[in-house]
Structure 1
């Protein structure tokens, strides 16, 4: 999300409040992304899931029988890994949990009996899968692969599959786990150095792993790549691939219907016509929930979650492009008060936006109350108030020309990403683990929200510095940090920011292992938000998003050949 880009003027430019639409900025945003569902007629075609139902059911039962017959620990882990990479693991959650629970107990028994690990690949795969599913496994499990000085043994580089496994495992490290930091550096250097001498198939595996670590990637976004390049050669067999293709096409049809339903809601809402200066990008907005709530069973929740996401973009454009400073202050006051009478002082376009926000939020609250027995209106309206207050702070910085300290900018910028709005809505829509204690924690912006929000803010600002700061009008953490510390090299600051992003990933990994107040589905939503950031904010030289465009084509338009 991170929708507020231009928050400062150039230090060499005259400073004045925004009093009229910034047509230059509006054109810039349209150049970055200007797409709607109506531009892709294929999306309007309905697809019959019944054509796949019988065959898919047969394949599901075949896989389930195989899972029940597996006994070798390595084969079990390889099967689970393949199911996850093919995005069909949601069909077998009970079986997977039973296997992992048994594996975790066996690892504990081996550790207490002092038995050695059985191979680098076996060990790394078990470590990664168990941590991904919330089991804490100590990195001491890798001690057998280090020498007396604590360094990883040089001969390990001959085991390419094991090295790949160690690299993937290292990406689940938390703060203070030096063994995993060393594993990451060791494997990255060794794999890059030996890439040219690898067999072609292994070189593809290595290149893909280094560019897209499993833990930091969205499985469904990579399913076709996994199938097409046979990245599942670690044990997935033909019948798994057949099921994955059938399932991919069925889920694609589901996503197409969801996008049509949201697009109709968006058209009927009428904001695109009333607020012509704002972005009109329903397809891009829908890609967020598609990633965040990836389980196909969450269809209704994806549609509902796209609604507040669209409003975040619209409100950002009001603050960033159109509103005067006085209007923005009145709008923020209206959102904080959350009363219809508060809109009397607002111009018509703001009244329309506030009514859309007010009604949509109340409708979602009513849905949550009906489904889960809890009215979330207090928490939801608080998220919108916090967002508008953060946007207003940025608008005042812009108007005054006062650049904040980097830490102050980042604290406010974490809220102005809008991530807290998305994840709080996701929490209540999912309805898992709603208690007073969990809601109090949620309202205080826990690490499961602040970590992906910080990753988004830093990545967005890093991209802005590289691709969108030619005219000196886009504020960012990079800009604040450079001025505060007297640094003139964007490269040096870029390295610092990447280290900060790496640290936030480690903090998020810890939250995923320790935040017991929150359900696995909400933790996955938090993780998927962080995973989506790089796709949403990797602009090319033409200020386009080629990775996102490619995933839209793959996930929403192009079927998987059977």
Structure 2
């Protein structure tokens, strides 16, 4: 983690102003002029001992209350016990299914269904054994599947997702002498769908997978437009769902519920698996309710949302982020910690982006980087409350880990929180000094200010299997943390930049690129979309670990940008949480699946 601090304060080159070529950028510049006026007024007020003029973002109010949370009802103890007993029976029957499946195509299909139904975590060892055996005999398996595009694409995707080395050449057998793809399998539409999903695990320079992606996308869209994809079995809905966002970019738990309900009529899925998935989903949902009650009690007693009403109060949404990072029951400690951490991240972000003056932020950043409680009297009250609450949170978690594992995580936690505040302060200086950095300069700071490293360090330190050796090895994950966090930033900016600029926020990646290249917003957004794909390719290339603890962390690394897609694919689903975000919270936390 020592290397992270070096990227938090890049040298910023102030670009010469160019004639603006689009109206959107002219409006952006007008808002900057207005912001500069506010800054001058704020400074003059400060010198005359008048309270500084502060900006307010007018965020949407919190739509959930502690009373609402505490009133959540779970199934009775008797019902839970009955459900656990039924799950244990279904679990053993499913384990027998895994043993009985001898054909490679059947094994792959079963594993895929277990993963998409959200119950694969029960069978990690069995699935790892099957995939290891298939990988060890890959040449033979490849020959066995040479006329089955669906199974071959499944094999490729499942192996790549688990970090196994598998070449794009696996698909060469499905190209004719001219290099064009052929959808050879019993069900060509399923074959195309599997090829499409597999192609999103591409790495940089893999031209075959790029061609596969283009081919499968074009063919599936054409079949949908022609009405050639049958409704039966939910296939048409599955294709439409995939074309919206590929599986590799989806928030897992939201997809699990969708898949359970959308594929109930799919005759390729064993009814035993569907029943198992429904019972398991409901039982885990009860666990989520209990976790939320505990978190809501903590948040209510902390009192920050009442004392500091200027920031986004989003406990439920923060919990959904945490579920997006890791949904498995065993990782409950990580979910609780990450929810709390994101509450602080949001508060800090709103202090730096909206509420704090530059002079206050300078002192604030210095105090937190020194973690100096004796310097708190230099801060205004709202900053003292924030810092003291975070100080207690970090040391409480550090004490717990020390007590349980004998490991000192506090230095790592302090370092990553300090890096976050330093990066936020850099952006505040750009704002107050009216600077627009080049895109790469912006990203070198923004992958930290988006909080990706803070989230990932917290998740790593909360791992139930954390060891001293694992803690020492964390700096070696610098690159994968960087790829995940830059993706997080790019996805966030694409969804939120319009609303944030309306509030008078600092330039985001889109505006940085517009300013640097002198192009329209449409061109800039197109470039950022390509940059997102590039970073996904880099992230895919980094997932080649095999230890149990690394597997836990690898999943969270990938799930950070997946969860960001959920919140920001159609705008700011975090700042404005009363739409799809609210619906999915109800779906994941409140409403059980009918069995």
Structure 1 residue 429: Cα displacement: 0.5
* Corresponding residue number in structure 1 for 2:354: 321
| Structure 1 residues 332-343: aligned runs within 5 Å | 332-343=365-376
Q: Which aligned pairs between 1:384-399 and structure 2 lie closer than 5 A?
A: 384-399=417-432
Q: Aligned to 2:516, which of 468, 471, 484?
A: 484
Residue 45 of structure 2 is matched in structure 1 by none
Structure 1 residues 388, 219: CA separation in 2 closer, same or farther (over 3 Å shift)? closer
1:17 match: secondary structure: helix
- More moved, 458-467 vs 284-293: 458-467
Equivalent residue for 2:31, pick from 10, 15, 25: 10
Describe the SS at the equivalent of 1:430.
coil
User: Does the aligned pair in 1 maintain the 2:331–2:464 contact within 8 Å?
Assistant: no
Post-superposition offset of 1:252: 0.5
* Range with bigger deviation, 513-522 or 64-73: 513-522
Give the 3-state SS of the residue equivalent to 1:247 in structure 2: helix
Tell me, yes or no, if structure 1 residue 373 matches structure 2 residue 406. Answer: yes
1:464 aligns with 2:496: yes
Q: Give the match for residue 129 of structure 1.
A: 158
Q: How many residues are aligned here?
A: 548
Verify: 1:205 aligned to 2:238, yes or no.
Answer: yes
Q: 1:499 aligns with which of 530, 533, 557?
A: 530
- 2:588 corresponds to which residue? 555
Alignment of 1:388-537 (within 5 A): 388-432=421-465, 434-435=467-468, 439=471, 442-443=474-475, 446-470=478-502, 473-487=505-519, 489-513=520-544, 519-537=550-568
For residue 186 of structure 1, report the CA deviation from its aligned partner: 0.8
Aligned equivalent of 2:205: 176
TM-score by length of 2: 0.86
Kept in 1, the 8 Å contact 2:193–2:216? The answer is: yes
Counterpart contact for 2:104–2:141, Cα < 8 Å: no
Q: CA deviation at 1:342?
A: 2.3
* 2:341–2:455 contact (8 Å) kept in structure 1: yes
Please tell me whether residue 225 in structure 1 is matched to residue 258 in structure 2.
yes
1:437-457 CA distances to partner (integer Å, 9 max, x unpaired)?
x55663477232222211121
Q: What per-residue deviation string (whole Å, max 9, x for no partner) do you get for residues 463-504 of structure 1?
A: 2344554466452111111011111x2111111000000111
Alpha-carbon distance between aligned partners in 2 of 1:389 and 1:517, rounded to the nearest angstrom = 33
Shift of 1:220: 1.9
Is the contact between residue 419 and residue 453 of structure 1 (CA under 8 Å) also seen in structure 2? yes
Whole-Å separation in 2 of the counterparts to 1:250 and 1:372: 29
Find the residue that maps to 2:201 and give its secondary structure: coil
Q: Which residue matches 1:3?
A: none
Aligned counterpart, 1:119: 148
Q: Is 1:250 the equivalent of 2:283?
A: yes
Cα RMSD after superposing both structures: 2.6
Name the residue aligned to 2:120: 89
**Could you give the per-residue CA deviations for residues 343-368 of structure 1, whole angstroms, max 9, x where no partner exists?**
12112221121111111001111222
Q: Deviations over 1:98-117 (max 9, x none)?
A: 11111112214456xx7772
Shift of residue 41, structure 1, vs aligned partner: 5.2
Matches of 1:471 and 1:343, distance apart in 2: 30
- Between 1 and 2, higher relative CO (CA 8 Å, sep ≥ 6) is seen in 1
CA contact (8 A) 2:69 2:292 kept: no
Question: Greater CA deviation, 539-548 or 254-263?
Answer: 539-548
Which residue pairs with 1:4 in the alignment? Answer: none
Larger displacement relative to structure 2 (278-287 or 542-551): 542-551
Give distance in 2, aligned partners of 1:14 and 1:165.
50
Change (3 A) 1:448 1:36: farther
5+ residue gaps, structure 1:
1-6
* Alignment counterpart, residue 171 of structure 2, candidates 142, 146, 158: 142
1:21 and 1:322 in contact (8 A); partners too: no
SS at match of 1:344: helix
Q: After alignment, is 443-452 or 370-379 more displaced?
A: 443-452
TM-score (norm 1): 0.91
In 2: Cα distance, 1:259 partner to 1:314 partner: 19
- 1:38 is matched with 66
2:582 and 2:81 map into 1 onto residues whose CA distance is 29
The match for 1:67 is 98
Tell me, in whole angstroms, the C-alpha distance in 2 between the residues paired with 1:462 and 1:138.
32
Asked if 1 retains the 8 angstrom alpha-carbon contact of 2:69 and 2:293, the reply is: no
C-alpha distance in 1 between matches for 2:183 and 2:120:
36
**CA shift at 1:66, angstroms?**
1.6
Gaps of 5+ in 2: 1-27, 43-51
